[in-house]
Structure 1
Amino acid sequence: MSGILYGIGLGPGDPELMTLKAHRLISNARVIAYPAPDTGPSFARSIASDFIPAGIQEIPIIVPMRVDRFPAQRIYDKASSEISTVLKSGEDVVVLCEGDPFFYGSFMYLFERLSGQFPCEIVPGVTSLTACAAQLQRPLTSRTDILTVIPGPLPNDEIRTRIDNAQAVAIMKVGRHLARLKALLSDLDLLDKAGYVERASLPEQKVSRLADLDTDTAPYFSTILIYKGDEAWTLPPSFSS
């Protein structure tokens, strides 16, 4: 009997937003794996750190956080091989993933390599989109509105086309593209409809109307939410954070 591969969604960062199931599986884990940068601590591990049992086996998946491309396939091949060895021994492996495992989650690359060989279970997590909407105090979308999720690094023409065809828009992975995105949304006359959240649910989170944001740089974990549908939803006039 092989072990079970668990993909655990941890939510956006606040440990209290983890599900009870995620908490139970992590608290009883004997082997965990998680993405980690080549410098600094793992964000995924830090979310779950209070619930990780002492002395268990840990498999950090080192993913370089750089602008230039890195050999991602090789990284996930290596991690899958390490995890496969543990699963073949009959031990379960709990893989920690920020947000939700199947929403821009790194776990999906392990899943596509291992799911045909071992039993897998996915534990969904609170996504950054819903966490950001909660902090902005404005619903994401409703009824027949179309919600479009756009990666910030896409070129302006493609972003413009996708915004034109949607009533609600989430722009993720804003980071170093913030100034360009602000200029584009200003050109589309959408600044007043756009809210900005960085590091949602964490103590250092920042929440603002995009028009009021006084910087042109943003961390990787930052999101812009726009609503331009028929509902009379507006952003609060100001935010305390």
Structure 2
Amino acid sequence: MMDLDAIGGTARKGMLYGIGVGPGDISYLTLRAAALVQQVDVIAFFAKRGLQGNARGIVDPLMGEHREELRLEYPVTNEIPPEDPRYQEQISRFYEASAETVSALLRQGKSVGLLAEGDPFFYGSFMHIWRRLDKIFPIEVVPGVTGMSGCWTRANAPITWGDDALSVLPGTMGEEQLTRRLADTDAAVIMKVGKNLAKIRRAVTAAGLLARAIYVERGSMKGERIMPLSEGPEVGSPYFSMVLIPGQGRRL
């Protein structure tokens, strides 16, 4: 059996670890991430009210009994648009309170592993805690396989060839701007699909890319669905979904 302690090193007391847990399949965890999940004094994770939290679910097979856990429950997710001042105020207070809670554990000399879906530094909630604590406590960020990497691999779709330029675009972007950016790039990944799916489909079509677009839902997770965007749902999609537009590049 592989000795994770020997490969991944040991967790240091009073240190915060941002642990990237990958796109969903536990086999995509790095050795360092797997070792730390088993070693840190406290496993912290973000979750939506009433749900386990996807990152926490990914590492469940690595969690033994009687582990200390810190659940950081969002006060709001998609109930209010992100641009609404009420959303921004509630989320800002939530991250401040979460950072204080984590700080208290670190001051006690405990090591804390804050889980992050995909990679901690890519659209991750972890970044909001990192920004508040980076100059105060020692922090190690453990990179993870990004959701988009997991999705294009599961879709068997090489995303860039040769000198292709890749654009990563949030689906929350305005339709006109999204269409323009799609038309100006060689390959694209559209994140934050959800309620923006119909708008994204229109923008992809207007940019002349519908024939190449792939819809991926819960890539590498249970319930995975992969299909051409033209055959996918027309309105609304789960949180864990994205649209891929592979580049064509130079075929050698």
**TM-score, normalization by structure 1:** 0.91
Which residue of 68, 73, 86 maps to 1:57? 68
Which residue of structure 1 lines up, in the alignment, with residue 183 of structure 2? 164
- Report the alpha carbon displacement of residue 66 of structure 1 after superposing the two structures with TM: 2.2
CA distance in 2, matches of 1:206, 1:2: 41
CA distance in 1, matches of 2:131, 2:161: 32
Which residue of structure 2 lines up, in the alignment, with residue 184 of structure 1? 203
Which residue of structure 2 lines up, in the alignment, with residue 239 of structure 1? none
- Give 3-state SS (helix, strand or coil) of 1:39's partner: coil
Alignment of 1:107-146 (within 5 A): 107-146=126-165
- Report the alpha carbon displacement of residue 214 of structure 1 after superposing the two structures with TM: 4.5
* Residue deviations 1:5-50 (CA, integer Å, cap 9, x gap): 0000000111111111111001112111100111222111111111
Write the letter of the residue equivalent to 1:92.
Answer: S
CA distance in 2, matches of 1:66, 1:226: 26
- Give 3-state SS (helix, strand or coil) of 1:12's partner: coil
Preserved contact between residue 44 and residue 69 of structure 2 (Cα < 8 Å): yes
Preserved contact between residue 32 and residue 58 of structure 1 (Cα < 8 Å): yes
Which ranges of structure 2 fall in alignment gaps of 5 or more residues? 1-11
Write the letter of the residue equivalent to 1:145.
Answer: D
Write the letter of the residue equivalent to 2:28.
Answer: L
Preserved contact between residue 171 and residue 193 of structure 2 (Cα < 8 Å): yes
Preserved contact between residue 19 and residue 143 of structure 2 (Cα < 8 Å): yes
Which residue of structure 2 lines up, in the alignment, with residue 26 of structure 1? 37
Residues 1:102 and 2:121 are matched in the alignment: yes
CA distance in 2, matches of 1:2, 1:21: 16
- Report the alpha carbon displacement of residue 215 of structure 1 after superposing the two structures with TM: 3.9
- Report the alpha carbon displacement of residue 232 of structure 1 after superposing the two structures with TM: 5.2
Write the letter of the residue equivalent to 1:150.
Answer: L
Which residue of structure 1 lines up, in the alignment, with residue 229 of structure 2? 210
Identity percentage over the alignment?
35
**TM-score, normalization by structure 2:** 0.87
* Residue deviations 1:172-211 (CA, integer Å, cap 9, x gap): 1111111221122222221111011010001200000111
CA distance in 1, matches of 2:207, 2:114: 41
CA distance in 1, matches of 2:200, 2:53: 28
CA distance in 1, matches of 2:220, 2:13: 37
- Give 3-state SS (helix, strand or coil) of 1:34's partner: strand
Residues 1:45 and 2:56 are matched in the alignment: yes
CA distance in 2, matches of 1:6, 1:209: 38
- Give 3-state SS (helix, strand or coil) of 2:59's partner: helix
CA distance in 1, matches of 2:201, 2:251: 23
Preserved contact between residue 2 and residue 88 of structure 1 (Cα < 8 Å): no
